[in-house]
Amino acid sequence: MEWTFEEFKTSLDGLHPAVKQKALEIAKSLVIEKNYTKGNAIKEGIMKAEEWFYDLGG
């Protein structure tokens, strides 16, 4: 199954490429492991990825 989250493209477009990639990884994990809906997973993924990126000093 392809995990592009294409329906959330506008939510991801303004993100730094590293944040976008990390958000998708986190969202995939949340959908698979914790049964999140795609919408909730992408919101949570973006939030956590931004925190991750800023913690790195980005």
pLDDT in tens, 2-33: 566 788 888 888 999 999 999 999 999 999 99
9 inside domain: no
8 inside domain: no
pLDDT at position 2: 59
Domain count along the chain: 1
10 inside domain: no
43 inside domain: yes
3 inside domain: no
Q: Decide if pLDDT at 1 tops 60.
A: no
Evaluate the CA torsion angle 32, 34, 38, 44 in order and state its sign.
negative
7 inside domain: no
Measured CA distances, 22 to 1, 10, 47 (Å) = 18, 16, 10
48 inside domain: yes
Structure tokens that stand for 17 in this block: 């490429």
The pLDDT confidence band at residue 58, using thresholds 50, 70 and 90, is low
Contact 30, 8 (CB under 8 A): no
pLDDT at position 33: 96
Supply the range of the domain harboring residue 23: 16-56
Using a 10 angstrom Cβ sphere, with 0-12 exposed, 13-18 middle and 19 or more buried, the burial of residue 19 is: buried
More confident residue, 55 or 11: 55
